[in-house]
Chain A
Amino acid sequence: IFVGTWNVNGKAPPTDVENLKRWLNCSDEPPDIYAIGFQELDLSKEAFIFNETVREAEWQKALEWSTHPKAKYRLVGIVRLVGIQLAVMINYTHFEHVSNVAVDYVGTGILGKMGNKGGVAVSFQLHNTTLCFVNCHLAAHVEEVERRNQDYNDINTKINFKRHPQAIKDHDQIYWLGDMNYRIRRLDTHEVKKHIAMGDLNTILCHDQLNQEKERGKILAGFEEGDINFQPTYKYDVNSDRYDSSEKARAPAWTDRIFFKGKGIYQQLYRSFMELKISDHKPVNALFRSEIGIVNREKYRRIHEDLLKSMDKLENEFLPQVTIDSTDVVFDTVKFREPQAKDIIVANTGMVPVDFKFIQKNDEKSYCKEWLRITPFCGRINPGEKSDIRLEINLEQALQSLDDILVLHLEGGKDLFITVSAKCQRSCFTMSVSTLCRCPVPILNLTPEQLKHAENGQSQVLYSVPRELWLLIDFLYRKALKTRDLFESSALHEEMKKIRECLDSGTLDQISDSPYAVAESLLIFLSFTKDPVVPYHLHKRCIEACESFAQCKEILEQFHKLERNVFLYVCMFLQDLLKYSVDNGLDCHGLSIIFGDILMRTPMRNTPKPHCRKKTRFIEQFLTNDLSDLIQVNKQ
């Protein structure tokens, strides 16, 4: 790497580039990289204010003409702040291995921006090594040591390439060059010149401000510099090798320096070049043998793959794992409103805690069917532990069988499927009024053929209301007209079950001993008929008509015949019940609330409050008015 720095004092490049060539060609073999920094490239006001200059192109062209003849170079990056310019070029054969090029600059002049002082930097990556070149021009004058220190530190900390590596210090190799402007302390011009003439550079170097500040740890921490075997590079009379002969007679100094920091950098050369005389500074350059890290692709790939493999292995080993004692849960034949439960055991057989939950399938709205309840439906199981999950089924619909597939998802891992199934025993509860009115025998005694014909309405209507409904109401007529709290006390499950079995299988026995159980069965029967007794599509009109019995009657005529029968039959019965209200304590409003909610039930079973009142009112109309003319019509 050829690193050069030159304060060109605002001069244009020499028309004869011979000396420039000699400066840039200091070895037989061409350098791989040129990093050339200029200061005071342009001293004009325009450059200072607008940061524009023709010098940049002129000098760049001169450089391109003058690089080593045995190689061709391509520009990696160029950056300029007023007169401080840095260009990095690379032998084009290496260009394809350059990446991540970035530049930045920091002004340290007025407002920390404008100004001819500051630093510029180029950063890039060559193969696997990150390099940073910094060119700076620090504050002038002998006494401005602190100012120079500050400039240096500003540049060192503020340069930001806005990607990785961001800061100067983050690079593998850093080359710092520039007009550092540190002078010689405590020796006057005369003494310095005398020592130079004697070839005694060491004495002067002891008084070099830069070396002193560096030693004090103020600047360039960790940087190294080659031995200085060349005489001070500042300040000369232009076009001569004579030190400043003007009135000011400034003491000569090593203002122009090159430092480096990083592993594998070996300096080959550090010199000034006297033949370039157009400036009051002499150019300085260094030559480095620098080790660049090249990735062994084959080896890298192998290690990379091995690493990925072991990561895969780990990852797969640490996936959540469980076993389930049964993925096929079969229930006994399920009967209407007779819940059954079974437990499955989920055991964590993996190495990590498992968070499980049942998840929805495709577009279904719940993780299980409405007849199933899963507790818990989500939870955590620690390694080696087990968890019981209860599956509970309850049949309240007319289904032939229950079938569901549950998806048990392990967070961050696999899914398990659990099949739940049960056969259903049919019941008169959940059947439609139309079907029941066509059944010649109790529901369980029907042949499949008979059932099919009854269900699709092909067979004859045999009863004006379902036989089962008649049995329930008949019982209440006979045994319960004077029973108190009839629709309010709930009955025992066993009694309810017995009634259902009687109705489904047909029996000549008394269907129950308990009026309460029969009353509740009546409510349940009406609650679970396949469709509500008052057809759902008429609910809105019923609600609107609820204040006028005449209108209510009109709507009633729109019912299907059998539903109309059921409705009137129930209302008649309730009217008869109310005749005994002194004994049974029932009142019209209370009954209307209960039956309004059931006879006009909505599919979702949650009616808005105001509608409830109007439904009650609708039923009330039929409990308080004379229904005999309606019955007459019916008989026709």
Chain B
Amino acid sequence: MENMATRTQTAQRPNGSAQGKICQFKLVLLGESAVGKSSLVLRFVKGQFHEYQESTIGAAFLTQTVCLDDTTVKFEIWDTAGQERYHSLAPMYYRGAQAAIVVYDITNQDTFGRAKTWVKELQRQASPNIVIALAGNKQDLANKRMVEFEEAQNYADENTLLFMETSAKTAMNVNDIFLAIAKKLPRNEQASGASASGQGRRLAEGDTGARAAGSCCK
């Protein structure tokens, strides 16, 4: 049982499989509290939705694998606390991440403003080739919309972000946004063997963040 939990994985392939390689990527979700970060992850990973999702106090961790044409992409997802008082801890999670989803709530203009500051912070402090996606969540409440689609799309275009409006409730675009990220991630690295077991995954303790971006097992 323990072994399963520690995730020391070696990519085993059947003889001459069609699948090329397994790439492992660290993905972080950022955004104002109550915009639906945890709900997006829960929908993506478990296909569930809870109307009253508990507030995340910490950084939740889940994994999910998606298959592309010739590659299997395994996301290690860090779902961070949105409350402002935990803001200073965010770098622990986006440092060393290869992908980030910055989430806002389309019914709340303030959360869109907050999303922009997250994007700025990522552009300044995260790894330079991080893939950033902007998710306008709660699309199911479009009748209460406060952030226009075009406005967000233009902002995303200016900053070369992936952009989708999503709904964790109806599942709209949830898988799609993760897939779009997976497609955009560089998959040419052929780092040695399996990466990340428990501790290797995190970048805090003494690790100055000099980790290779994305590790692929061929």
Contact = CB atoms under 8 A, between A and B. Distances in A.
Interface of A: 99-100, 125, 127-128, 130, 295, 297, 300-301, 304-305, 308-309, 311-312, 314-316, 318-320, 327, 351-353, 359-362, 405, 407-409, 411-417, 419
Interface string B48-88: 00000000011111111101000010000000010001101
A415 B58 contact: yes
A318 B63 contact: no
A297 B17 CA distance: 9
B190 to A, nearest CB: 16
Given A362-B204, A412-B199, 18 more contacts: A100-B16, A128-B16, A295-B16, A300-B14, A304-B67, A308-B72, A311-B65, A312-B64, A315-B5, A315-B63, A316-B62, A320-B5, A327-B58, A351-B1, A407-B58, A407-B89, A412-B197, A414-B60
A414 B205 contact: no
A301 B64 CA distance: 17
Interface string B1-20: 11011110000001111110
B interface, by DSSP: helix, strand, loop or mixed?
A: mixed
Contact of B4 (A297, A315, A414, A415): A315
Given A305-B67, A412-B6, A416-B58, A359 B1 contact: no
Contact of B198 (A301, A305, A411): A411
Given A414-B58, A416-B57, A312 B45 contact: yes
B91 to A, nearest CB: 6
Contacts of B59: 414-415, 417
Q: Range of interface residues on chain B?
A: 35 or more
Nearest to A125: B16
Closest A-B pairs by Cβ, 8 of them: A412-B198, A416-B58, A414-B61, A308-B65, A318-B5, A415-B59, A352-B5, A318-B4
B92 interface: yes
A509 B130 CA distance: 68
Contact of B18 (A301, A318, A359, A415): A301
A333 B57 CA distance: 25
Contacts of B65: 308-309, 311-312
A300 B18 contact: yes
Nearest to A307: B65
A128 B1 contact: no
Identify which of B2, B5, B14, B62 gathers the most chain A CB atoms within 10 Å of its CB.
B5
B72 A407 contact: no
A312 B1 contact: no
Given A405-B86, A419-B85, A295 B60 contact: no
A309 B86 CA distance: 32
Contacts of A352: 1-2, 4-5
A99 B20 CA distance: 13
A99 to B, nearest CB: 7
Contacts of B7: 315, 412
A127 B89 contact: no
Contacts of B86: 405, 417
B109 to A, nearest CB: 27
Contacts of B17: 295, 300, 304
A417 B89 contact: yes
A327 B58 CA distance: 10
26 contacts: A128-B15, A295-B18, A300-B14, A304-B72, A312-B45, A312-B63, A315-B63, A316-B46, A318-B5, A319-B61, A320-B5, A327-B57, A351-B1, A352-B2, A353-B2, A361-B88, A362-B204, A407-B92, A408-B58, A409-B204, A411-B199, A412-B5, A414-B58, A414-B61, A415-B92, A417-B89
A295 B14 CA distance: 10
Contacts of A301: 18-19, 67
A416 B81 CA distance: 9
A312 B64 CA distance: 6
B44 to A, nearest CB: 11
Contacts of B57: 327, 416-417
Contacts of A316: 45-46, 62-63
Contacts of B5: 315, 318-320, 352, 412-413
Contacts of A415: 58-59, 61, 92
A311 B162 CA distance: 28
Interface in B13-30: 14-19
A127 B204 contact: no
A319 B18 contact: no
Given A318-B1, A412-B198, A130 B15 contact: yes
B94 to A, nearest CB: 11
Contacts of A99: 16
Nearest to B22: A308
A405 B58 CA distance: 10
B198 A361 contact: no
Interface in B85-112: 85-86, 88-89, 91-92
B14 to A, nearest CB: 8
A362 B88 contact: yes
Given A295-B17, A308-B72, A353-B2, A413 B85 contact: no
Contacts of A359: 204-205
Identify which of A327, A352, A417 gathers the most chain B CB atoms within 10 Å of its CB.
A417
A297 B81 contact: no
Contacts of A419: 85
A234 to B, nearest CB: 39
A304 B60 contact: no
Contacts of B4: 314-315, 318, 352
Contacts of A304: 17-19, 67, 72
B19 A413 contact: no
Contacts of A409: 202, 204
Nearest to B206: A360
A308 B67 contact: yes
A305 B175 CA distance: 14
B16 A127 contact: yes
Identify which of B16, B18, B65, B202 gathers the most chain A CB atoms within 10 Å of its CB.
B16
Nearest to B19: A304
A417 B58 contact: yes
A417 B87 CA distance: 12
Interface string B151-186: 000000000000000000000000000000000000
B92 to A, nearest CB: 6
Contacts of B202: 409
Nearest to A300: B18
A165 B72 CA distance: 24
A415 B92 CA distance: 11
A417 B199 CA distance: 18
A361 B67 contact: no
B85 to A, nearest CB: 7
Contacts of A314: 4
B91 A362 contact: yes
Contacts of B72: 304, 308
A125 B16 CA distance: 8
Contact of A362 (B6, B19, B60, B92): B92
A84 B75 CA distance: 52
A353 B2 CA distance: 7
A412 B201 CA distance: 8
